[in-house]
Amino acid sequence: MSDDDGDGDLPGRGLRAKVLTVSDGVVHGAREDRSGVALVEQLSAAGFDVAEHRVTADGADLVAGALTEMCDGFDGLVVTTGGTGFAPRDQTPEGTRAVIEREAPGLAEAMRLVNPLGRLSRGVVGIRGGTIICNAPGSPKGCVEQLDAILDVLPHALRLLADEPTAH
């Protein structure tokens, strides 16, 4: 019997995720990757098997390249942290838009609503193949809060994306 009530694993396979930290400082060893680690912990606690956690420098082309590699042959969730603000090198949304096929604006809007500072986020959420890509901010508190805002609906969204039976 499959679990299609919207709050469990994908039928036939577990929930899978990857985390991409976007930060010049982390790449160059000037900063610790606290946000990426926080997301890995949060996703693991929510029942996701975190298959990969990688780091890339800021910049649209670097983000697009990393996301393309991470999504190829992967069905699941990819969460980015960093590069969603107003600084000149904050180009994660641009890199994400270059690789997604469809946007999921409702998810991005829900993420922004959790905190007044969320209004400063330019993060996007979208679909590439069988993968949902979510942009979260670079602060440990902000990325966890924003992902938490949509974590409850992601299993259902992933089932829909995989064309699995659902309760609706």
- Model confidence at 2, pLDDT cuts 50, 70, 90, reads very low
Q: What is the mean pLDDT of the chain?
A: 92
Class of domain 16-161: alpha beta
pLDDT at 101 over 60: yes
Average pLDDT over residues 76-88: 97
Q: What b-and-e string marks burial along 8-38, b requiring 16 or more CB atoms within 10 Å of the CB?
A: ebbeeeebbbbbbbbbbebbeeeeebbbbeb
User: How far is Cα of residue 121 from the mean position of the Cα atoms in its chain?
Assistant: 14
So where are the chain's domains?
A: 16-161
Name beta bridge partners: 19.
53, 79
Distances 50 to 18, 30, 90, 119, 121 between C-alpha atoms, Å = 5, 25, 25, 28, 24
CB 23 within 8 A of CB 57: yes
* Per-residue pLDDT tens digits for 140-150: 999 999 999 99
pLDDT at residue 168, rounded to an integer:
61
Q: For 105-159, how does the pLDDT look when each residue is reduced to its tens digit (9 = 90+)? A: 999 999 999 999 999 999 999 999 999 999 999 999 999 999 999 999 999 999 9
Please give the Cα distance from 83 to 23 (Å, whole number): 7
Q: Is the overall model pTM greater than 0.95, yes or no?
A: no
pLDDT at 13: 53
**Of 61, 58, 68, which Cα lies nearest the Cα of 138?**
58
What's the pLDDT tens digit per position in 6-33?
Answer: 444 434 458 999 999 999 999 999 999 9
